[in-house]
Chain A
């Protein structure tokens, strides 16, 4: 894409010196500060949430964060153009690992979406998501159009739908749903005509009806129904929503205090170190705590979009947009789910929820975004 025209000659000092000096000084403080603070809050909350569990997840999560920081630095130091050049390979590898899961997957409560290599287990769908984002960014950036043609949209959508379907048949609906914001965010920013959007909405409606009728299992439908009327079955499937709302509501303004939340400490809350970590936080730190955390997410998102806006090229913009679309969706969906606005599904909260692959992917995402930012001056 970029032609490096003979600027490097033997007699001149290496021109990369100046931009490289700028690299470190130009790291976006807002992005890194919000990510670090959120991770720290997450560690404290994971510790509290697991105090009544047989295992304290705090040390493990601390380990994941440490690994994440290393991965962040690595992915920041790689020029994202190299990543984009490699995106085809990464994308194919991602698809292969998803097929691998279908064949040799290990189940951890529900869907068999883990792949085991030696003693190491991970969720390929998390990594495939990044690869898909890279590949799509490369494709859309290369088009260099003001508005996408229909065929570009179809190809772009196909790039995302392929891994998405593979995840959906695992069956991991929550994981598959996570590809939708990637596709939507990037295609919308790349440019879609209003007429097409309306058509897509109609088709989407038809698809949803079809999936509801043919594609969903009983318990998945039950989850949606429960969401629509949780009070009808307080001890059954509506239990989780209800317990979460009680936890959140009873936190009031200031919360019950760290490790003092009755809902979590008395084990009423399900999955309280992962999907419902925000309920624990809301119960123990009150509305002030929630507002603080949501504020940090807002800081994270605005910092990231600022980086997108000042990125050097189309590819940089689209890549950052793809990555933050995923993060935004996690944050919005999880927090809305916890207060009972949306049906419960396994969507964890970035930086706060316990989880190995998920934590690593979030920090890789920070790294790539920072990598786009520190290279905004190069060759300009």
Chain B
């Protein structure tokens, strides 16, 4: 079938020649390897062993963090680690005995540590002990000639001066995960320490600076002979927070102790600067500065109160009666009620064939907008809620920033939940029941907010509807706040009601939050964890069944410059538990001595 006879014999002959040539070149190159590796092998082995260039990283000092008044919150302290280069030990057993003697630790313990490094090449120094004392460092220095295998490495360790009190706010450092190393595109190396949570994480790029490198020429014993080249480290930038350490500590003290679980947010309603952000229980971030001990980690993970969670932004709760602030602003802005609309409270009212009770058994009598907030009358808000309907309630809740991230400059924020029929169908796969609207009207049911969202909502009431973006760094570049369409008259009535809560006899926080010398306006909230029927006296209940307590507030009432939101998980009543904490922080802020302390 071949039509043309092809000339292929010449090709085949030439291919054979080519194969022969290539094969001989391979043999020639192999001979080159033979010469380099076998004839000159000794020479190169010595060069490799004595390879006289060492690259030494120069770690950039991490930026310091200050509070708004320039007080140091985090600093760097030197820490000395003992490294061992096993390839340089003449008698490893002997070396370990020596080290164990200096460190005052059993030699078996050190042997165990070395066991872990079996897979690491012997010439790579490995970590034998951390945080050496200065006298131990001196001992290894003096005996260094006899034991060249030991090296003391200086590291800078983060020291969080106020430990638990600023734990969630500042975060901590840790080694980057493989994922983070990949994403950083060469920015992070294994063994680096990078910000893992809080401010340390968000501002890691500016805090960390840029590591430098020294290339030095060393002799065969590793002693430095001269410097070949050096790229200096660029230190990280310092950071000034909007936090006021005094307020932060005051808040932390009130939430310190067993069965103290909750969060406090203090914020400037004029610009969103946060002055205090506390979550309890907290953890000691200095534990993370060293390699974290397994036992410490286990304890943190297994604690039923989850100390690693930042409750101010990561946990969501029912707002309870504090939600009435949103309800009343919405009702008046939307002309469902006017400020003088009155509702008769007889202690209960029936909606959709079911009675809904007011918290006050005998009822509040005739209640208008001002009294409704002051007395926290449930029936008033049931009535308003039914008139408004769930769609409007949801719309105004979102206007106040519920159901969305606030945009605070630390990670982990939760959105919470603003329920409406669409949500019900999509998430719960069931229709919205009209009765639920009545519950939502007093902040119960599926509406969920974070303490930070609550503080921002309160700030909007205080500042006339400006949706400020909460932030922790002073002079942070935040977008200008949006102005939400909330009726100025409505906000004025609500502020008046909140003022009455604290300053008029009969207000729900009159006895617990009033502070002579400054007028505080606030709203209490108590979230029931179990149904009313099963209740006994509060202090007899087991901790996990106790009510959650809210108090959200601002001061001075006529010209607000500080918003404080307190949430106490299973704390009990909002007035009894949460309000005094806010009162104490205001006292600190305004320099008023009210003679109260966190108590036992």
Contacts and interface: CB of A to CB of B under 8 A. Distances in A.
Closest 6 CB pairs of A and B: A249-B44, A250-B48, A252-B41, A305-B19, A287-B37, A250-B45
Given A253-B41, A260-B121, A313-B6, A302 B15 contact: no
Interface stretch (B49-57, B255-263, B313-321): B49-57
A246 B37 CA distance: 9
Given A235-B228, A252-B37, A305-B18, A266 B10 contact: no
Contacts of B123: 262, 266
A26 interface: no
A335 B37 contact: no
A3 interface: yes
Given A235-B228, A268-B53, A332 B11 contact: no
A215 interface: no
Given A263-B51, A287-B38, A332 B23 contact: no
24 contacts: A3-B3, A54-B181, A55-B182, A144-B6, A189-B14, A191-B14, A248-B33, A251-B37, A252-B45, A262-B51, A282-B37, A287-B34, A290-B37, A291-B33, A298-B23, A301-B26, A313-B6, A321-B18, A328-B22, A335-B29, A335-B33, A336-B29, A339-B33, A340-B36
A301 B6 contact: no
B10 A332 contact: no
A185 interface: yes
Given A54-B190, A249-B40, A317-B11, A332 B29 contact: yes
Interface in A294-333: 294, 297-298, 301-302, 305, 308-309, 313-314, 317-318, 321, 328, 331-332
A189 B15 contact: yes
A265 interface: yes
B124 interface: yes
A262 B288 CA distance: 33
A245 interface: yes
A55 B53 CA distance: 24
Interface in B34-85: 34, 36-38, 40-45, 47-49, 51, 53, 55
A286 interface: yes
Nearest to B5: A144
A284 to B, nearest CB: 11
Contacts of B7: 144-146, 314
B12 interface: yes
A249 B45 contact: yes
Interface string B385-420: 000000000000000000000000000000000000
B531 interface: no
B133 to A, nearest CB: 31
B25 to A, nearest CB: 5
Given A249-B45, A252-B38, A313-B8, A297 B15 contact: no
B51 A268 contact: yes
A268 B53 CA distance: 8
Contacts of B337: none
Contacts of B480: none
Contact of B23 (A252, A302, A339): A302
Contacts of A341: 29, 32
Interface in B216-275: 228
Contacts of B44: 245-246, 248-250
Interface residues of A, number: 62
Nearest to B25: A332
Contacts of A305: 15-16, 18-19
Contacts of B22: 301, 328, 332
A213 interface: no
A248 B41 CA distance: 8
A262 B47 CA distance: 11
Interface in B90-118: none
B48 A331 contact: no
B14 A188 contact: yes
A245 B25 CA distance: 19
B479 interface: no
B304 interface: no
A339 B15 contact: no
B15 A314 contact: no
B593 to A, nearest CB: 56
Given A55-B181, A262-B121, 7 more contacts: A191-B10, A250-B44, A252-B41, A287-B37, A332-B29, A341-B29, A341-B32
Contacts of A191: 10-11, 14
Contacts of A251: 37, 41
B379 to A, nearest CB: 60
Interface of A: 2-3, 5, 7, 54-55, 144-147, 185, 188-191, 235, 245-253, 259-260, 262-263, 265-268, 282-283, 286-287, 290-291, 294, 297-298, 301-302, 305, 308-309, 313-314, 317-318, 321, 328, 331-332, 335-336, 339-341, 379-380
Interface string B322-360: 000000000000000000000000000000000000000
B134 interface: no
A313 B12 CA distance: 11
Interface centre among B22, B44, B45, B123, by most A CB within 10 Å? B22
Contacts of A314: 6-8, 11
Nearest to A188: B14
A220 to B, nearest CB: 24
B254 to A, nearest CB: 45
Contact of A266 (B26, B30, B42, B51): B51
Nearest to A189: B14
Given A144-B6, A305-B19, A246 B14 contact: no
A7 B23 CA distance: 43
A357 B10 CA distance: 34
A55 B189 CA distance: 9
A146 B9 CA distance: 9
B15 A290 contact: no
Contacts of A252: 37-38, 41-42, 45
A144 B228 contact: no
Interface string B288-328: 00000000000000000000000000000000000000000
B15 A308 contact: yes
B10 A309 contact: no
Interface string B198-216: 0000000000000000000
B208 to A, nearest CB: 16
B4 interface: yes
Contacts of A260: 121
Interface centre among B4, B30, B36, by most A CB within 10 Å? B36
Contact of B26 (A190, A235, A283, A298): A298
Nearest to B54: A266
B26 A317 contact: no
Nearest to A147: B10
B48 A248 contact: no
A49 B14 CA distance: 39
B188 interface: yes
B48 A263 contact: yes
A339 B14 contact: no
B88 to A, nearest CB: 13
Contacts of A308: 15
B30 A249 contact: no
Contacts of B181: 54-55
B142 interface: no
Nearest to B23: A298
A182 to B, nearest CB: 13
